[in-house]
Chains A and B, each alone.
Chain A
Amino acid sequence: MELSGGEILIQSLQDEGVEYVFGYPGGAVLHIYDAIFRQQQVKHILVRHEQGATHMADGYSRATGKPGVVLVTSGPGATNAITGIATAHLDSIPLVVITGQVTSKYIGTDAFQEVDAIGCTRPCVKHNFMVKSADEIASVMKKAFYVATTGRPGPVVVDIPKDFTAPHIKIPYEYPTEVSMRSYAPVSGGHVGQVRKAVELLAQAKQPMIYTGGGVLMSESHKELCKLAQELGYPVTSTLMGLGAYPASDKQFVGMLGMHGTYEANLGMHNCDVLLAVGVRFDDRVTGEIEHFCPNAKIIHVDIDPTSIAKNIGVDIPIVGDLKVVLTRMLELLAQDSRRANPEDIARWWTQIEEWKSVKSLAYEASDSVIKPQYVVEKVWEVTNGDAYVTSDVGQHQMWAAQYYKFDEPRRWINSGGLGTMGFGLPAALGVKLAHPESEVVCITGEASIQMCLQELSTAMQYGLPVKVVNLNNRYLGMVRQWQEFQYEGRYSNSYVDALPDFVKLAESYNHVGMKIEKPGDVEGALKEAFAMKEKLVFMDFITDDTENVYPMIEAGKGHHEMRMHPKVGELN
């Protein structure tokens, strides 16, 4: 088969089984867009901003486990995509991002719309490739998908000069069936001796904790994790990124840990003697002040990426490997060896944890005059039967979504944890909806975040993507305001969002449905009404309490045992 470079690119996507490409055309990619036009299999979703394309592809990937694919033009197309690439990078999401480049002979001449896409993206990709000739395109694409999806996944950029995609140069096409890269060999196994040691240590624990993260979702090992946790009977906590890997409604789940984690999760960490850390990276938002982190614990750390191990925190038993393989081995060893921790110790530990739990660290002050954001999230959970895909932006609303929507299934909670990118929620939700048209998809956002990728309401209109937007409108950059309240004596420097649009009219102008909800009594009814409109994107503008803060909180320099609780903790239900 003889094809042009542009056709080869699209044919490669077909051969990879790609369903959707999220993109935006421009001069450097016109040949490629022509190849897209002349086929049906790969569907192109035209976004309104390249950042939106990367977040959509990212949402699609997080919800499915498949790589997300993006196509943008050179120069501003590539730079607009960078925020989304970096977002995917920090959360280890597999993306293949194709950037057009100026014609090869003009590279380095400051040609129109020329930017060094390889240089610009280098620090925020897993890897990038510069295509050097048309006949390289197929093999580079194969490598790009391979690198993006194996090992610790991540975004891969492929930069293609325009002339290599020209229609008049035809070359033989064959998509490689295999990749071999001598410089890239993702690990699988996990050292058998280390796994054995880990299992022995787990059996000696008196106050154990299991700390799980996004790696469990990425490696599809949530079933193995649940089996292991239940076999051991130990408490499980999760990072923001790992929510849903272990069912939140299970009795062994003690909630999220870290900066806005529960009292019982954080004190469990602080007091544990054996910590099993799986698919996590000891991020500073999780550990709090490192000096105070798990002072008495022996730490077992399982991760596929050796650089995650002993990066921030020293560990006693490092295990580099695919979580699925390692957890399966642990289960096998436990099946062979009946030695377990002393049940009395574990019972005593659970009693302690229940005591911490009884503090009710997530209780908030109910109100019948002003809408409490936590209440809205609880009601969203109820109305969707806890079964929706929930995307989020960044701020207080994100934390409330994580705290009050109980995720029982993996890949349902979709947010930018690592980079904390405002603007992620709406485009990500659209990507999820394309992947799961029959499922409910909710974007829980804030009035500031939503405005960072608001233009994608237009994409939703074009493709008829009926997601539900829950705007927790506190008229503030709420998370910023909260820090200013706590740390700057209430000097609210530039955290007030003045001049907000009328979100109802705005939604309506895109032929969506807009609703404004101002009374607590109307929350449930509005949600039911909105979710009943299966075919419509409904933008729900909830006017919420502008003074509400996210609790508990570990402030800068503090450890897990030094949480700042709701001022009325103990009196609340």
Chain B
Amino acid sequence: MNRLFEGLPARAFLLLAILAAALLVAPWLVNDYLLSVLIIVLYFAYVGQAWNLMIGFAGQLSLGHALFVGIGAYTSAAIFVHFGIGPWATVFIAVLASVLAGSIIGYLGFRFSIRGVYFALLTIAFAEFTRIMVDHTEWLGSTQGLFLPVANRESIDLLNLRGSPMMFYYVILGMTVAALVLCRLLLNSKLGYYWQAIREDQDSAQAYGVNVFRYKMIAVAISSGLTGIAGVFYAFYYNNLFPETTFATSRSIEMILGTVVGGVGTLFGPIVGAFFLTPLGELLTALTDDIGLDGIKPFFWGICVAGIVLFRPSGLWPWIAGLLGLDKPAGGEGK
């Protein structure tokens, strides 16, 4: 507990408490539609956090994170469909499978010094490769898709993750909070400092004793594992999986845009970005539906994202934190 809150200014406590309270009561106050939007927001905040750990903390760019969502989703869904075993038991297998995939990519990339964009291409290639494999795997529904039996949305079966949107809301809220806490603890640990050293200057880090390969592998493993858990949630929330969409690069991009807008490498960037981009997308959909002009939504959305990247290149969160006076570390005058 101490390590979690160490160095936080008092007003950060207050804001966190208010935010937590608001998120806890939110589903009782909003309608079904808004609740579904909130679930998507939290989902993107969670996967953004997982992706951010790799690029934002350790400096390794993945543009294929949909792969890990897909692996987690297909693993747990297939076991549920074929054997009726619920997600709480299979989440471990899903995580293991995701970590395995991440480790293979990491091993190839880091062992053979594939850096930067080339590493990112490797992640895309693996996502594509996996998509094609799933396309041809009958057991996973191939191109036809894999469908989970939709349960009664009124009753709550937490054990099998079948139930009302409100249940899903609290599950994803818990996941998002847990990811935030985990990332904060990791960032302030030896691991976090080593990751940041690698991100800033890999050769320099190595000269000061950092086993670069090992710490990059740990980053990929944790990031892919966390993302695999998101996949389990995804499968049981949406109840259908298609390889074309699940593993698509556009999915990977969608997962990371919120974090890019919110602030890569920051703890709250993924959350702020998700709360900004997802509702903005929904709003634009609603508005442009009325006008009846197709394609106007992505157009406006693209302009918004481009504008933020241009004018707030380090993201919304560092800027907001500055406005709120939350960017001063307790230890000193900060920057």
- Are these two chains actual partners, yes or no? no
Q: CB within 8 Å of B: which residues of A?
A: none
